[in-house]
Structure 1
Amino acid sequence: MLSKFKFIFLLFVGIFVRYVLLQYSYLLNYFDFINLRNPYNSWRNFKEGIILHEYGIDPYDGDMFHENPIDLKLFSLLNRWIPNGIPYIFIVIQIITSLIIYQNGKLMINFQKNFNLKWVYTSNIPLNLMILYLYNPVNILDCALLNSSVFQHLIVCTILNFCLKGNLLVSSIVLSVLFLHSYNAMILVIPSSLILYYHSCHDNPFKKWIDLAHSPSAISNDDDNDKNVNKYSNIMNIIIVFTTLTFLFFACLLLLCFYLSPHPSWKFLDNCFIQKFFITDYTPNLGISWYTFAESFPHFQTFFLWMFRIPCFIYFIPLSIKYGSIDPIFLFYMFLILIVIFEPYPALGDMFFLLSFFPLWYKQLFPFMRQPLLYGCMFLASITISPIIWYLWIYADTANANFYYGMSILYTLSQILFLSDLIYAYNLRRFVLVLQIDDLDAINKGEKPIQLPKKDDIQFKFPFF
Structure 2
Amino acid sequence: MDRRGAVQAATLVVMGAIGFTLRLPSLSPGVQRFVEDRVEFSVPTNAWRRAAEGVFLHESGVDPYEGDMYHETPLCLIFLTKAKSLGETFLNRLFPACDILTAICLYFFAKNLVEAMIIQQRKDYASLKPKVQLLLTPFEDIPKVPLAVFIWYILNPFVIGSCMAKTTSVFTNLLLAAMLLFTSFGSNPVARVASLVFLALASYQTLYLFLLFPALHLYLMTSVPDKQRSRLWYELGHLVVNLGIFGVTLSGLVIFSSMIMGSWTFLRGVYVFAVSSPDLTPNIGLFWYFFTEMFEQFRTFFVCTFFMNVCLYAIPVATKLRHDPPFAIFVLLILITIFKPYPSYGDVGFYMSLFPIWRRLEPLMKQTLIVSVMLLIAVVLFPVLWKLWIIAGSANSNFFYAITLVFIASQVFFVCDVTLAHEKRQWQLKNNAETLEAIHLD
Residues 1:9 and 2:7 are matched in the alignment: no
Secondary structure at 2:23's aligned position in 1? helix
Counterpart contact for 2:389–2:396, Cα < 8 Å: yes
How much has 1:318 moved relative to structure 2?
A: 2.0
**Residue of structure 2 equivalent to 1:436:** 432
C-alpha distance in 1 between matches for 2:236 and 2:324: 17
C-alpha distance in 1 between matches for 2:276 and 2:148: 39
Alignment of 1:387-402 (within 5 A): 387-402=383-398
Residues 1:381 and 2:377 are matched in the alignment: yes
How much has 1:277 moved relative to structure 2?
A: 0.5
Number of residue pairs matched by the alignment:
417
**Residue of structure 1 equivalent to 2:51:** 46
TM-score of the two chains, using structure 2 as the length reference:
0.90
**Residue of structure 1 equivalent to 2:129:** none
How much has 1:86 moved relative to structure 2?
A: 0.8
Alignment of 1:6-405 (within 5 A): 6-19=11-24, 21-25=25-29, 28-30=32-34, 32-116=37-121, 118-120=136-138, 122=141, 123-166=143-186, 167-199=191-223, 201=224, 203=225, 205=226, 227=227, 230-261=230-261, 264-324=262-322, 326-362=323-359, 364-405=360-401
Counterpart contact for 2:310–2:340, Cα < 8 Å: no
Query: Relative to 1, partners in 2 of residues 1:228 and 1:322: Cα closer, same or farther, differing over 3 Å?
Result: farther
What does the per-residue CA deviation read over 1:232-254, in whole Å, with 9 as the maximum and x for residues that have no partner?
44333212211111111111101
Secondary structure at 2:313's aligned position in 1? helix
C-alpha distance in 1 between matches for 2:281 and 2:12: 41
How much has 1:160 moved relative to structure 2?
A: 0.8
Query: Relative to 1, partners in 2 of residues 1:454 and 1:6: Cα closer, same or farther, differing over 3 Å?
Result: closer
Secondary structure at 2:305's aligned position in 1? helix
C-alpha distance in 2 between matches for 1:22 and 1:153: 23
**Residue of structure 2 equivalent to 1:453:** 438
Counterpart contact for 1:112–1:327, Cα < 8 Å: no
1:179 maps to a residue whose letter is: S
Query: Relative to 1, partners in 2 of residues 1:95 and 1:426: Cα closer, same or farther, differing over 3 Å?
Result: same
What does the per-residue CA deviation read over 1:181-209, in whole Å, with 9 as the maximum and x for residues that have no partner?
2222112111211222222x3x4x3xxxx
Kindly, what percent of the aligned residue pairs are identical? 28
1:162 maps to a residue whose letter is: F
Secondary structure at 1:59's aligned position in 2? coil
Counterpart contact for 2:214–2:315, Cα < 8 Å: no
1:313 maps to a residue whose letter is: C
Secondary structure at 2:312's aligned position in 1? helix
Counterpart contact for 2:382–2:403, Cα < 8 Å: yes
1:380 maps to a residue whose letter is: L
Query: Relative to 1, partners in 2 of residues 1:27 and 1:97: Cα closer, same or farther, differing over 3 Å?
Result: closer
Counterpart contact for 1:35–1:383, Cα < 8 Å: no
Residues 1:410 and 2:415 are matched in the alignment: no
Counterpart contact for 1:104–1:160, Cα < 8 Å: yes
- Structure 1 outlier segments of 4+, above 4 Å: none
Structure 2, unaligned runs of 5 or more: 126-135
Q: Which of structures 1 and 2 has the bigger CA Rg?
A: 1
1:433 maps to a residue whose letter is: L
1:29 maps to a residue whose letter is: R
